[in-house]
Amino acid sequence: MNEQIFNRALGAYLGFACGDALGATVEFMSPSQIQTAYGVHKDIIGGGWLALAPGEVTDDTQMSLALGQAIIDHQSWNLQAVADNFLAWLNSNPPDVGNTCRRGIARYRDNGTLIGVPHDDEAGNGACMRNLPVVLATLNRPDYFAQWSLEQARITHHHPLSDAATLALGRMTNLLITGQGVDACLQEAERLISQHSQFAYQPYPGKASAYIVETVQTVLHCFFNSDNFESCLIATVNQGADADTTGALAGMLAGARYGLEQIPERWLGRLDAQVVEKIRGQTDKLLQLAGVL
Ligand code: MN
Ligand code: MN
């Protein structure tokens, strides 16, 4: 039982990183540009606008690791430690930083602000994309899940749509990792749409930008209309636009649903080995903290 939970949790985290590395190649491209360049984009080959090495990950995975490390180092929740790790990451000259993330982290650096006032323009996907470590650390503690998720999110993004998506995707991931199946997950998606109808994804509107609504629509459309890990990620990243982040979030859900063994070896083997090692270590420690292992 616990072995299955570990397998699906590790599948979610490594699936997330695979989606990031796979999608980064085609980030900001349109579906037709991708088709012209690659036919169907389905291999981790690096490149893209960031000129990445094959298997290199971007801010999505790096910020998740920064958040996870703060939880592990303190064996609990310490919001300032999370913000400090985000700041250390920003200072490490990362390949990519989202504008809203940069602004929020700079605000913390300059003023010590851990929660910004709500902003209409903070409905990007940057808070939602990095929340997986909180899901893992609170797997058995839903009461902590909401508080920790919203606090980490609002360091950079304070917007009701960002908040709602961060909670909904986190709960979906929890349901899948704990083996409650895709139907429970679908109910959670329907709950999100009943609260914020903007997230409706059927029929699929066809946009995959960093606006949290379009990100979530793309991820849910591809996740619920595929039946294996590989086809879910390929469908997602070939929508282009914010393909590394939609790919990462689709990889998180698909990894949690199908487990580690469905992640293609040609992807896992390509992923930056240091990142794989960090993810393995964090998954183990975060689940221990949750009292699952
Ligand atoms: Mn990215
Ligand atoms: Mn992105």
Q: Residues 200-234: pLDDT tens digits?
A: 999 999 999 999 999 999 999 999 999 999 999 99
CA atoms of 89 and 97, how far apart (whole Å): 10
Ligand at minimal distance from the CA of 28 is 2
Ligand positioned closest to the Cα atom of 94: 1
| pLDDT tens by residue, 57-99 | 999 999 999 999 999 999 999 999 999 999 999 999 999 999 9
Residue type, 287: L
Among 70, 2, 12, CA closest to 233: 12
Give the Å distance between the CA of 247 and the centre of ligand 2: 9
User: Cα angle vertex 185, ends 288, 167, to 5°?
Assistant: 65
Q: What is the model's pLDDT at position 116?
A: 86
Question: Does residue 126 carry a pLDDT above 80?
Answer: yes
Q: Name all domains of the chain by residue range, CATH numbers in brackets.
A: 3-45+56-290 (1.10.4080.10)
pLDDT score, position 183? 97
Mean pLDDT of the chain: 97
The pLDDT-based confidence of 293 (bands split at 50, 70, 90) is: confident
Other residues' Cβ atoms within 10 Å of the Cβ of residue 35:
14
Question: Ligand 2 centroid to 291 CA: how many Å?
Answer: 32
Distance 27 CA to ligand 2 centre (A): 7
Q: What predicted TM-score, i.e. pTM, was given to this entire model?
A: 0.98
pLDDT, one tens digit per residue, over 5-50 is: 999 999 999 999 999 999 999 999 999 999 999 999 999 999 999 9
Contacts of 82 (CB under 8 A, 6+ apart): 66, 67, 70, 71, 151, 152, 155
**How far is ligand 2, taken at its centre, from the CA of residue 1, in Å?**
34
Exposure class string for 181-191: b at 16+ Cβ within 10 A, else e? eeeebeebbee
Q: What is the pLDDT of residue 138?
A: 98
Per-residue pLDDT band for 1 (boundaries 50, 70, 90) equals: low
CA 127 to ligand 2 centroid distance, Å: 12
Please report the pLDDT score of residue 125 as a whole number.
Answer: 98
